[in-house]
Amino acid sequence: MKKWTILVLCAVIALAIVPLVVTGGAEFGGADGEAETAITEIDAGYEPWFSSIWEPPSGEIESLLFALQAAIGAGLVFYALGYYIGRANDGKQNDGSSMLYLQTVSYTHLRAHETPEQLVCRLLLEKKNRKHY
């Protein structure tokens, strides 16, 4: 791996772990709950102007649906990103510095580039693997 990739991976891991260590046993509440508490402190008679069509039966199901929504969104974004990068690289040979570029070739094409040493090895292997009846 490149040095830059390792540094970025370490930074991502640190961003995930440091808040958990620093806050200790704190409870992580949602932003909606915090906003509702702040608004109620400002105006005790506040009534929300919108209510959900359907309330999930539990917080776990709500978290599951949120995670599913995030996964589907990330899948769509990265599919589109890969699709457009693939279209941009279509027909171009890549030097391997930015992305892995694979291209399938036929067996005949491979044999056309065979060196004399490879030819000898291939013929010896074919002779060895040939069954005698």
DSSP string, 27-96: ----HHHHHHHHHHHH-TT---S---SS--SSHHHHHHHHHHHHHHHHHHHHHHHHHHHHHHHTT----S
pLDDT of residue 14: 92
Q: Could you list the mean pLDDT of each consecutive 10-residue stretch along the chain, which spans 133 residues?
A: 84 88 73 82 84 85 90 93 81 54 72 83 82 64
Global pTM reads 0.40
Give ∠ CA 129-130-131 in degrees, rounded to 5.
110
| pLDDT for the residue 120 | 84
Question: What is the predicted pLDDT for the residue at 28?
Answer: 65
Q: What is the pLDDT of residue 69?
A: 95
Domain layout of the chain by residue ranges: 1-51
The whole-number pLDDT of residue 79 equals: 92
Q: Residues 101-105: contacts with CB within 8 Å, 24+ apart?
A: none
Report the amino acid identity of residue 101: Y
List the structure tokens of 88. 């941009």
